[in-house]
Amino acid sequence: MKFLKKLSIAAAALLMAGATVVPAATAHAASSSVNSELVHKGQLTIGTEGTFSPYSFRKNSKLTGFEVDLGKAVAKKMGLKAKIVPTKWDSLLAGVNSDKFDVIMDGITVTAKRRKHYAFSSIYLKVPFVLIQKKNGKLNSLDDIKGHKIIGPVGSNYAMIIKKFGGKLVQDDGNFGTTLSLLKQGRGEATIDDEGAWKAYTADHQTKGLKATTIPTDQAADEVGAAFSKKDKATRKAFNKALDELRQDGTITKLSKKYFGKDVSVK
């Protein structure tokens, strides 16, 4: 992989890309095996949507969220700078296998199907799903969606759940606001999302006329991890080590409570 030789060139490129860069800690140094796998030496390039609250979103024009803060903390533990790159969902996962990113952190649900194409960190969140519909909707659980039009983005974990329980997928662009607009317009009867995203959205947006039913975690839950290229084994190992340290020192629990209003972290 090619590395930028001058910091000034790197800084200019990052400004043009609209990325966020965070200085690394000096307590740890990334190994040569990790550096050899990185898109840019000494830097952990993290792909995320930037439009998926509470995972990654903009507040006062600044990129923030659970995954953003966690990504910075992990990079610091790894002795790397963190470069956060906002990217649309439809090209996000593909970017990690084409050396655009070192890791994807975007509320990614770890599934058996995805494990065929990507490697994942240890799971660090388990977030309940909610079934969202109009107030007069009569769908009370996932078992009720069979044969009904359910809105969701193709390739998402929500689409997988819709298919698994026999729902008819109505495709959207992956933007939660768009999804709810389609629901209000009657394009579908319901949508599925995680509880954290729903609560974050309702805090800042009008959702009059809609209701959400929490789905029991033993039926389905959003088990979240970070996605890597399967070839980047050293990077993933170092990432997992950093995650373990952040579990032990309470950082992940603290971030979970900050962004989800409760502890949904996996110990």
The DSSP code sequence of the chain is ------HHHHHHHHHHHT-EEEPPPSSS---HHHHHHSSBTTEEEEEE-S-BTTTBEEETTEEESHHHHHHHHHHHHHT-EEEEEE--GGGHHHHHHTTS-SEE-SSPBP-HHHHTT-EE----EEEEEEEEEETT----SGGG-TTSEEEEETTSHHHHHHHHTT-EEEEE-S-HHHHHHHHHTTS-SEEEEEHHHHHHHHHHS--TTEEEEEPPTTT-EEEE--EE-TT-HHHHHHHHHHHHHHHHTTHHHHHHHHHHSS--B--
pLDDT of 242 over the 80 cut: yes
- pLDDT confidence tier of residue 16, bands split at 50, 70 and 90: very low
Q: pLDDT by residue (tens digit) across 92-122?
A: 999 999 999 999 999 999 989 899 999 999 9
Q: Domain 128-222 has what CATH class?
A: alpha beta
Q: pLDDT by residue (tens digit) across 121-159?
A: 999 999 999 999 999 999 999 999 999 999 998 888 889
Q: What percent of the chain has pLDDT over 90?
A: 71
pLDDT of 3 over the 80 cut: no
Which amino acid appears at position 249 of this protein? D
pLDDT at 8: 42
pLDDT of 2 over the 50 cut: no
pLDDT at 220: 79
Average pLDDT over residues 208-235: 92
Average pLDDT over residues 226-234: 98
Average pLDDT over residues 162-185: 91
Q: Where are the domains of the chain?
A: 7-124+225-260, 128-222
Separation of alpha carbons 181 and 68, rounded Å:
27
pLDDT of 30 over the 90 cut: no
Average pLDDT over residues 230-256: 98
Q: pLDDT by residue (tens digit) across 68-98?
A: 999 999 999 999 999 999 999 889 999 999 9
Q: Domain 7-124+225-260 has what CATH class?
A: alpha beta
Q: Do domains 7-124+225-260 and 128-222 have the same CATH topology?
A: yes
pTM for this predicted structure: 0.78
